[in-house]
Amino acid sequence: MRNNTIRWGTGFVLAMVSVASAWGDVRKDLTIRYGIWDSAYRKHDVLTLASLLHPKFVLFTDTGKAIDRASYIASLWRSSPPPVYGTTLLTATREGNRAVATTREQSGKDGDLHHHEYRDTWILRKGHWHLIESRTAKHD
């Protein structure tokens, strides 16, 4: 029963954020989306993470490897979240139903943190922002 309540609550919050995003400022909208992503990632809430991804989502690694949505979600189920994780939105622009964001992700353990920059493309579909493409720009 508790899991159903949590899923319903999360779905309701995502729906409300998505409806508001149809008319709002893209930077504000994506800041909210990345906040939801960060929280879900730290909790290992793969269902919420999957709900943020467009059906045609592709992640391109810094080596150029393409990872489709199903493979990415499978990797999330197999992994454990790092003790330290966070995403900072650096830039966000919108053109029509697409938004492009540059982010900096920090993950790892205290004293051994890794940083990645991403160029993410979001698409607004039926009032919902979905991540359709993510490209790793660099990492250290």
pLDDT tens-digit profile of 23-63? 469 999 999 999 999 999 999 999 999 999 999 999 999 88
Whole domain around residue 63: which residue ranges?
2-139
Angle 26-43/2-21 helices, nearest 10 degrees?
A: 160
Mean pLDDT of 118-127: 94
- Domain total of the chain: 1
In three-state secondary structure terms, 41 is helix
Q: What is the CATH number of the domain that holds 11?
A: 3.10.450.50
Question: Does the pLDDT value for residue 15 go beyond 60?
Answer: no
In angstroms, the CA 67 to CA 56 distance is 11
Is a pLDDT exceeding 90 seen at residue 74?
A: yes
